[in-house]
Amino acid sequence: MGWTVETLNHEVDRELEALPKSLKARFIRVAELVETLGLEAVGPPHIKHLEGKLWEMRMKGPEGIARAIYIAVKSRRVVIVHVFVKKTQKTPRKALEVARRRAAEIGS
């Protein structure tokens, strides 16, 4: 059984839809890599560990830089918990707080 990439809820869907076109296309590409090759086979520069169970998909395009924070759960599922356009070098503390809160809603 392969990996699946899904969003946590409609709020995350809206965050993803709000991304500029090139960044949304890049997200789709990284998600397809995960589903096709498996999460284990996809690494930098596409995937990076943040802290604990939180990881990020890294998207870069002509319209800027974005991140999709996710956790991996049972049944080979990647659940996207927060999507945002990155404007600073470090991942903003608020983005991590949102991701932690949403990730806590998921039973792994």
- Domain hosting residue 32, numbered range: 4-104
Q: What is the pLDDT of residue 107?
A: 63
Helices (DSSP H) in 38-108: which residue ranges? 93-104
Q: What is the pLDDT of residue 73?
A: 94
Q: What is the pLDDT of residue 52?
A: 95
Model pTM score: 0.94
How many structural domains are present in the chain?
1
Q: Kindly list the averaged pLDDT for each block of 10 residues, start to end, along the chain of length 108.
A: 93 98 97 95 95 96 96 95 94 96 85
CB 67 within 8 A of CB 91: yes
The CATH number covering residue 55 comes to 3.30.2310.20
Which token pair is 90? 């470090």
